[in-house]
Amino acid sequence: MIELKKIANEVCKTIIKSLVSAESGHTGGSLGMADIFTAFYFHILKHKPKEPAWPERDRLILSNGHIVPARYSAMAHAGYFSVDELENGLRKFGTIFQGHPDRKFLPSMETTSGPLGCGLGQACGIALGAKMDGKDFYTYCIMSDGEHQEGNLWESVMFAGKYKIDNLIGIIDRNNIQITGRTENVMPLESLRNKYEAFNWNVIEVDGHDFVKFIDAVEMAKISRGKPTVIIAHTIPGKGIKEIENDYKWHGIAPNKEQGERFLLELSSG
Amino acid sequence: MLNRTKHLNPKLFDADVEKKYIRDGFGQGLLFAGEKNRKVVALSADLSDSIRLTQFEERFPERYFEVGVAEQNLATVASGLACYGKIPFMTSFAAFSPGRNWEQIRTTIALNNVPVKMIGSHAGIAVGEDGATHQSLEDIALMRILPNVTVIVPCDYEEAKKAVGEMIEHNKPVYMRFDRSKVPVITTEDSPFKIGKADILWDSSNPVVTIIAIGYLVYNALLCAKELEKEGIQVLVVNNHTVKPMDEELILGVAKRTGAIVTVEDHQIAGGMGSAVAEFLAKTYPVPIEFVGINNKFGQSGSSAELIKHYGLDVESIKKAIVKVIKRNQESY
C-alpha cells in the first residue's frame, strides 16, 4: 500500500505537468481521484496495458469525463503510453489525449464521455451484455457527485436495480463540489446512501484516500450477489495541494506555470 | 408507368389495395433478425405493443429489456450493449426518441460510433388524433445532422422488414422512422432494397419532373404520377428510403434527366429529406425544387386523412407543386 501511495504521488505530478502544459482542464477532481485511479490501474483491474482490447479485461467507464487527466496519468504510469507523451500532449491538437475521453482517439477509454449522467447507463449495457454471455469480468463506473443531479443517471440507477446487475460496481467521487459551488448548495444530493438503497442497490461508504479500505470495499462489492453495488468514496478535491483542497473554484481551471512549479514542489515534499 | 424491374404490388392502384402497418413489418423483421443473429437484442420504453416487440419478447425473453418510460436511459443502455458487442434495437415514438434523448444519442451512440439501431415509430403528422405533442416532425433533421448515423425511412411493411435484415449487417448507428397507420403495401418480397440505393418506382419515356418521396407518402407520389400521366405530364417517382447516406448518383441522374424536382415527406421542410436533396444538388446540378412537407408549423388532432389534406401532403398538393416547378423551370429558359 506504501507502494500505491508512492505511485499516486507520481500520478498527481503528471496531472499537474500535463494541465500546466495544456493551459486548461479540471484540476480539483483530477487530483482528488488520483488515489482511486491508481488503486484501479495498479491493483484492482484485470487488464493488460499492452493489449488494451483484451476481451476478458474489466471495463472501467468514466462517466464524468472531465477528470480524465487522472485516468490518463494512471494509465501512463501503468504502461499504456508514455508519461512524457501525456505531459506534453494533453488537450493538444492531433493527440490521443482529448479534453474529454474519446474512444475514436483512444479506444482504451472504452466509451466517449463527458456530458454528465450518461456513463452509468452505458455501464449497465456493458455489464448486462457480459452477464448474457456468462463473462466473468466486472464493469466499473466512476461518477461524480454533481452528476447525480441529472435525470438520466437516476433512470440508470432504477434500471440496474430492476435487472439486479451485480457485475456492475459504481464509484461515486463524493468530493462535495461542482463547478459553481458546494453540491449541497447548488442542489442537495443527500442522502445518496438512502436514495441508492431505495433503488435496490448495495451501498458502501469509504474514505477514497485510504487504499486499504477502498480496495476492501471493491472486494466486498465484487462478491455481492443479486444487487448492483455503489461505493460512495469520500474524497478531497485538489488532494495534496493545501491551497486548493476543497476549493470549488479549482473544479474547472488549470494551474499556470508558476502555480504548477509550486504545486510540484509541494507534491515532492509530501 | 410502374417500373417493372422493381416488382411492385400488382394491385397497387386497385381500390382494395392491401394495407398494412409499417410497424408490423418492423416487428416481423426484428423476429427474423433475432433468429438469424444471436447478438440482436431489443429495448422497449413502455411501448412494446405499439412498436410490435411482443413477438420478439415472447421468443427471446433473455434478449429483451424493458427500460420503462425513460428514453434517455434507453439510449445509454443501448449504447453500452453495443459497446460490449451486441446489436441493440432501441424503440420508442419518434417524438421521444430522438425527441427526448437527442444528446444521449449524439454522445453515446453517434460520437461513440456504436451500431445501435434506433427505431422512431409514430412519426409524422399522420399520427393523427394524439395531436401535436406526439407528431414528430423534426426527427429526420435531428438524426441526419449526426455524423456516422444512417437514416432510413421505409415506404411500407415489406420495406421495413427488409431494412431490419439489412441494418443488422450494417456495422453503424442507424435511425429508422415510420408512421403509425395502416398504409398501402407498395413493394413485394421480390422488390429490391439496399441501404443507400434509391429506387425509381415510376418511370416515363419523357419525364419533366422527378418526385422524390419517402415513407408512406411514396404512395401519394405514385397516385399523383398516374393521374398526371392521364393529363399528359410525364414524371419519375423515386423512393428515396435512405435519407443518409443519400444515393447521390441516382439523385444526380434524375436531376439531369428531368431538370426539376418535387420532394415529398411527412416532416418539417426545414432540415428534412428535401433539404438533403437540395444541399446536394445546389453544389452539383442546381435545378428548381419544390418541397412538399410541413411548412414551419406544429400539428393538431384529427384523422390522418384530414391532417394530410390540411397540411398539404395529399395528391392534390403534390400536383400543385409539380405544376409550379414546371412553370419555374420554363421561366428559367
Tell me what the mean pLDDT of segment B1-12 comes to: 96
Set of chain A residues whose Cβ sits within 8 Å of the Cβ of B77: 121-122, 124-125, 128, 156, 159
Whether the CB-CB separation of B6 and B238 falls below 8 Å is answered with no
C-alpha closest to that of B65 among A167, A169, A129: A129
Q: Residue for cell digits 445501435?
A: B116
- The C-alpha angle with vertex B148 and arms to B147 and B154, in degrees rounded to 5, equals 105
Q: Residue for cell digits 506555470?
A: A257
Q: Residue for cell digits 427500460?
A: B67
* Helix (H), strand (E), coil (C) string for A204-257: EEEECCCHHHHHHHHHHHHHCCCCCEEEEEECCCCCCCCCCCCCHHHCCCCCCH
- Give backbone dihedrals phi and psi of A164, rounded to 5 degrees, phi first: 50, 50
pLDDT tens per residue, range B33-62: 999 999 999 999 999 999 999 999 999 999
Whether the CB-CB separation of A120 and A170 falls below 8 Å is answered with yes
Whether the CB-CB separation of B261 and B210 falls below 8 Å is answered with yes
Claim to verify: residue B220 and residue B323 sit in the same structural domain: yes
8 Å CB contact of A126 and B83: yes
User: Which of B135, B157, B184 marks a domain boundary?
Assistant: B184
| Residue B288 CB neighbours (<10 A) | 18
B254, amino acid identity: V
Claim to verify: residue B180 and residue B196 sit in the same structural domain: no
Q: How far is CA B188 from CA A23, B7, B39, B162, in A?
A: 61, 6, 28, 10
Q: Which three cell numbers stand for residue A115?
A: 456530458
Set of chain B residues whose Cβ sits within 8 Å of the Cβ of A121: 72-73, 75-77, 79-80, 104, 108
Any A CB within 8 A of B44 CB? no
Domain that holds residue B113: 19-184
Whether the CB-CB separation of B254 and B277 falls below 8 Å is answered with no
Residue B332 has pLDDT above 80, yes or no: no
> pLDDT-based confidence at B257, cuts 50/70/90?
very high
User: Which of B154, B184, B214 marks a domain boundary?
Assistant: B184
Set of chain B residues whose Cβ sits within 8 Å of the Cβ of A112: 107-108, 111-112
pLDDT tens per residue, range B274-328: 999 999 999 999 999 999 999 999 999 999 999 999 999 999 999 999 999 999 9
pLDDT tens per residue, range A191-241: 999 999 999 999 999 999 999 999 999 999 999 999 999 999 999 999 999
B62, B83, B102, B117: which to substitute to probe chain A, counting the most A Cβ within 10 Å?
B83
C-alpha closest to that of B210 among B256, B282, B258, B279: B258
Claim to verify: residue B220 and residue B299 sit in the same structural domain: yes
- pLDDT at residue number A2: 81
| B15, B20, B25, B26 alpha-carbon torsion, rounded to 10° | 130
Closest by Cβ to A129, choosing from B84, B103, B111: B84
In chain A, the percentage of residues whose pLDDT exceeds 70 is 100
Claim to verify: residue B177 and residue B62 sit in the same structural domain: yes
Q: Which three cell numbers stand for residue A239?
A: 488532494
Whether the CB-CB separation of A246 and A238 falls below 8 Å is answered with yes
The interaxial angle of helices A119-132 and B71-84, nearest 10 deg, is 50
Question: Which residues are CB-neighbours of B142 under 8 A, at least 6 positions away?
Answer: B98, B99, B102, B271
8 Å CB contact of B84 and A125: yes
- pLDDT at residue number B331: 85
Q: For the whole model, what pTM was predicted?
A: 0.97
8 Å CB contact of A156 and B82: no
A27, amino acid identity: T
Whether the CB-CB separation of A166 and A238 falls below 8 Å is answered with no
pLDDT tens per residue, range A111-137: 999 999 999 999 999 999 999 999 999
Any A CB within 8 A of B79 CB? yes
Q: Which three cell numbers stand for residue B325?
A: 416547378
Residue B154 CA to residue B239 CA, distance in Å, equals: 9
Any A CB within 8 A of B76 CB? yes
Nearest CA in chain B to A128: B81
Residue B333 has pLDDT above 70, yes or no: no
Average pLDDT, chain B: 97
A104, A113, A153, A155: which to substitute to probe chain B, counting the most B Cβ within 10 Å?
A155
Q: What is the CATH number of the domain that holds B270?
A: 3.40.50.920
User: Which of B141, B161, B184 marks a domain boundary?
Assistant: B184
Any B CB within 8 A of A5 CB? no
Nearest CA in chain A to B100: A152
Claim to verify: residue B156 and residue B68 sit in the same structural domain: yes
Claim to verify: residue B196 and residue B89 sit in the same structural domain: no
Concatenate the DSSP letters of all residues of B187-206 into one string. --TTS--BTTB-EEEE--SS
Residue A24 CA to residue A90 CA, distance in Å, equals: 9
Claim to verify: residue B142 and residue B199 sit in the same structural domain: no
Concatenate the DSSP letters of all residues of A117-140 into one string. T-HHHHHHHHHHHHHHTT----EE
Q: Which three cell numbers stand for residue B8?
A: 411492385
Residue B108 CA to residue B75 CA, distance in Å, equals: 8
Domain boundaries, chain A: 2-269
| CATH entry, A2-269, from 3.40.50.970, 2.40.10.10, 3.40.50.1100, 3.40.640.10 | 3.40.50.970
Closest by Cβ to B103, choosing from A104, A115, A158: A115
Could you tell me which residues are beta bridge partners of residue A60?
A: A140
